[in-house]
Homo-oligomer: A and B are copies of this chain.
Amino acid sequence: MKTINIGILGYGVVGAGVAKLLKQKKQLLESRTGAVLNLKTIADIDTATNRGIDLGTTALVSDANVVMDDPAIDIVVETIGGETIAREFILKSLENKKHVVTANKALLASFGNDLVTAARKNQVDLAFEASVGGCMPVIKFLRESLVANDIKSMSAILNGTCNYILTKISKDGSDFEDALRKAQELGYAEAEPSLDIDGFDTAHKLAILNSLAHGMEINLKDIYVEGIRNITPKDIEFAKDFGYIIKLLAIGKIHEDYVEARVHPTMISSSNPLSHVDGSMNAIAIDADATGQTILYGHGAGMMPTASAVLSDIADIARNIISGIKRRVPILGYPEDNIKSIPILPMEELYTKYYLRFEAQDHPGVLAKISGILGENNISIKSVHQKGRKSNGKVPIVMITHTAREAGVQHALKQISKTDSVVGRPVVIRIEEIAEE
């Protein structure tokens, strides 16, 4: 039986998960792939901490070069994370003709095009099923299964921390800070939670999905990103009255010669399957022209779900090695020469529906004033409600608009804020009507 040698860079949670699966599922993996997937070496600056895994003959070393320079190692698994050392190590591994498997979405989103180029130059593979949606096979689905489809749109819940917090606020009326603290206690949120709750992690994943869906270069910098810090129990409550649930969505849509790519809190109908995705679970809805809507639902993070996805990449590469081939499926789903540069629609050009909430003075004429300014900006109101009781002489006014232009909405809200009719910043939450069948 052929032996495929594997090296892991980074022995943290994901690295340990991968090591654990390679050890525990040795027999299963041999039975399925017909090869020995041998974990030869793990490199981490911390070689002292006991991760509770019986490494057997696997070497644990502190110098990553021991992995990267080992001519016997076929596949390097990068689980260090971040965009500095991980990038350097992946590039060096590719230069040394190693196939690379990574879950590093931040790195892929920022430097993925360079990594793809380096993999091509060195004629090796770069695989990243674990980078988006944890154990859900979304990369494989986009790269392989949907090969005869044009992807029309994607809507996805890609960050378990945000979804846990929004679910918590929704189910028990916690405010954001309490829900965040609870998420941190349970280990769903980091001590420094910005990457998650400000939407950046979701944007990294959307950049990768967009590239695979549309055969375009990975483009992170033009994705609009807005996190969930300002979501209040009040808005979640009002949303419910309109039949909406608030989720942090990654939205990607193809148009004639541009794509939409945006991450923000979004109101979706409670009849939309994504509205039932609660807690730390993730889900990805993909609407393609032949398939219609397909949804993948599962654990988007965590030690073993992530390790499972890494193992699927390792097995794929192992099957190639056994067959004597490489680079069987293009890294981004299209051969590099066919990857296009498709522009992302500037956010101010977006047309969508909006939920608006104002803390209005309880004066006659306030509603006329607000709706007048909205009208001047070509925003027409579908429904308006005065919600709840007044407090300190203010009444909440909540509106749902018809489709309007983002630039117009932002301009109108600035004008309204300047009047003495409202207090504080108006709340704006975009509404998404996902194709339902």
Contact = CB atoms under 8 A, between A and B. Distances in A.
A176 interface: no
Interface stretch (A39-47, A73-81, A109-117, A296-304): A296-304
Interface string A309-332: 101100110011001110011100
B31 A149 contact: no
A215 B298 contact: no
Contacts of A141: 137, 140
Interface residues of A, number: 63
A28 B150 contact: yes
Given A32-B147, A137-B141, A290-B307, 18 more contacts: A22-B148, A31-B334, A32-B215, A135-B294, A136-B294, A137-B137, A137-B144, A148-B308, A273-B297, A290-B311, A293-B299, A294-B297, A294-B298, A295-B298, A319-B328, A319-B329, A320-B328, A323-B328
Interface of A: 21-22, 25, 28-29, 31-34, 129, 134-137, 140-141, 144-150, 215, 273, 276, 279, 281, 288-299, 302, 304-305, 307-309, 311-312, 315-316, 319-320, 323-325, 328-330, 333-335, 338, 437
Contacts of A147: 28-29, 32-33, 311-312, 315
A150 B289 CA distance: 34
A296 B299 contact: no
13 contacts: A21-B148, A31-B338, A32-B330, A129-B145, A136-B294, A276-B276, A279-B437, A281-B437, A288-B308, A290-B304, A291-B304, A291-B305, A319-B329
Contacts of A137: 137, 140-141, 144-145
A40 to B, nearest CB: 18
A137 B312 CA distance: 14
Contact of A325 (B33, B308, B323): B323
Contacts of A296: 294-297
Contact of A299 (B140, B273, B291): B291
A315 to B, nearest CB: 4
Nearest to A281: B437
A149 B137 CA distance: 14
A265 to B, nearest CB: 22
Contacts of A281: 437
A154 to B, nearest CB: 14
B325 A21 contact: no
Contact of A312 (B136, B144, B323): B144
A234 B344 CA distance: 53
Contact of A273 (B276, B319, B330): B276
A291 B298 contact: yes
